[in-house]
Structure 1
Amino acid sequence: MSETSINKVLLAYSGGLDTSAIIPWLKENYGCEVVAFAADVGQGDEELEGLEEKALYSGASECYIVDLKEELVKDYIYPTVMTGAVYEGQYLLGTSMARPIIAKAQVEVARQVGADALCHGCTGKGNDQVRFESAFAALAPDLKVIAPWREWDMSSREDLLSYLAERNIKTTASATKIYSRDANAWHISHEGGELEDPWCEPTEKVWTMTVSPEQAPDTPERISLNFEKGRLTKVNGELLSPYKALCKLNELAGAHGVGRLDIVENRLVGMKSRGCYETPGGTVLMAAYKALEHLVLDKSALKFREQLGLEFAHVVYDGRWFTQITPPILAAAESMAQSMTGEVVVKLYKGQATVVQRQSPYSLYSEDFATFGADDVYDQSHAEGFIRLFSLSSRIKALTSVKGD
């Protein structure tokens, strides 16, 4: 297992049990220096508190914590929203969207410290190993990638705890971890525990970002979202940065139980998994953006955007952000977003986010054309000729069938 050619490894470090054990394991099995790297993607201060101290205590020589919150929202979340990407019709890609920016930052820090290898703590059953390593292949093919879960003989939390105890490395982790969670500014995911049985309804212990819809306020709340060329700029009239705007939406929507999702999805590696996701602000943002699209885009443009979203959902989920297909998809979405300026009002109530008002200087809706009353812009008698031409192929087919009989 030893690789004498590895001198310095940059480890994607979370401070949890897995990566705490990986640091000494790397030093023992590769005889190398280990530098810890953590990305602040909005997962919260609790997860980042004391992280550097933990890393150094576990044997890392240094620990870098990189603030990626604004960049994540501006350069990864907003572009994905503009494509309308939703995986398998439901999942808003919270974990998937954060992986490319984390991998990119990890490579940048690796170059900075002179590392000749990258390491992650992803298991051999999940999607993230593919996402990280595909990004590494595109950005730093010269760096070796080490994936301990595919190499070591430990297979349980008890094994990891024993490994650390034998080396007198203290950890706050316990043998009974109910849920596996991943959080960032966009969402939090939950797996494990009772969720491993699709027949078991999630208990309230699962949810951490939203209140129960049943316990949400009995009075609805309306919030206003302003967009400029596809980007959210204001919430309730307040000018906010991309990250702070999302935080505001999370706070407002979470209080009304908006954004809970319980699904069984198809993992990239071939198996199905059951997960619960909370995406309160993202649910509101997607609903508002879609409402603006329906106001601004014509039938063919909206159909094309829907096709973009379907394709890009798989690109993001599968970890193909840094491949040739991403730039043209994002360029097309960016082009359509040039007219995505306007204001949308969303009503929050008992777990639902409902669009109730929308306006845009680029709106294609005309009351003069849509009215059922008398108007001077549409002669209803003209519809007959349109219908005859529109249904001409059906008419010809029917007439041909009659002759054949």
Structure 2
Amino acid sequence: MDTAGFNKELLSFLQASTTPYHATAEMAHRLDKAGFTALDERDSWTLEAGKKYYVTRHDSAIIAFTTGKGDFASHGLRMVGAHTDSPCLKVKPNPELNSKHYFQLGVEVYGGALLNPWFDRDLSIAGRVTWQNPKGEIQNSLIDFTKAVATVPSLAIHLDREANKKRSINPQKDIPPVLCRLKGGEDKPDFRHLLATELEKQGEKPASVLDYEMFFYDTQAPATIGLTDEFIVSARLDNLLSCFTGIEALIAASDSDYPCLLICNDHEEVGSQSATGASGPFLRQTLERICETSEELTRTMQRSVMISTDNAHAVHPNFSDRHDGNHGPVINEGPVIKINANQRYATSSETSALIRQLCEQEGVPVQTFVARTDMGCGSTIGPLTASEMGVRTLDIGLPTFGMHSIRELAGSEDAAGLSKVLVRYFQLKNLLP
């Protein structure tokens, strides 16, 4: 697939993946079309050499893998990791608010969101609903209102003359979105009833909505922008950009003779401490089923590599002093190797050398990021996976502006380039000494 075709599919994926649940469903759909077999964690598995499989957990995390020739301990696993979640506003359990004749929903801030860009956007709601059918059975369904149903209006500058100098945001009282005006003595809508109505539109017959995990998102579509179409802009580039890059590479290399695996965890933005997070047991439990014994698993891990793919901070032309002078990644100059002396990133000289060699072979430029020594840096699923599985790990990402904003920006050449490199990686016979 050429870069233009890759980016067209990327934009389609971003548009469909409004929540971790929808992203996981979209990846599963693409794997189904590519001939992967869906597994259920509750069933007994019989895996065959030369086959390709995937399994989801709790609808928001996914592992896809190919068995190659089936000799895991001899060849190791070529693994790539990413995460499905992004910072956003999550609807509270009892969210209904009536303030000055306006219906609003109370929200929590999920992850380290930049809150200012959430004001004055056209917002919709999506997520997972758990409901009871007329037989009393509990079911899960995904819902996406699709159309814009809410906004968080800014306070006019006439009422806050210092807004451009020192306005701060109180997440409890300043960001509940407005959904409609209530007339006269009209009661505020019941949010669960609104969810039941959406379920009915999908052909379901809920007796009651028991609970939900619903999120606000920006309805503005992903796009290619720039005088020469050099940028991709979208919500949730961190880290759906990596999810798409990984899934496309795995599908393209699914006939590899050597075992390959992609994991996309949930809850990275809130610490990864969950059944679907990188600090949870999803990867280990899956690998224990792929490898027949604990000895085989250990031997396999010592011949394996994990490439943790998560967005990197591009040097901002207006804030270049926030970067180390020798480590300022530039958009459309290739993927970024992320290094930290305190193991906030898990890159080693071995894994860095491997990706440099692969990039050279594919003609893809590569960059390096190290945070300023007087500033902290973020982290990824890389160190968590390395410490849990004992696998040699690389942290790499695509340079991005506006990370954790409601709308982020990356290069239109970088994702396709990294995907090419990952295809070559998945096809490697030998990984590291």
Check whether TM > 0.5: no
Q: Which has the higher helix share?
A: 1
Normalising by the smaller structure, the TM-score range is under 0.3
Q: Give the TM-score, by structure 2 length.
A: 0.21
Q: Which structure has more RCO (C-alpha within 8 Å, separation ≥ 6)?
A: 2
Q: Which has the larger radius of gyration?
A: 1
Q: Which has the higher strand share?
A: 2
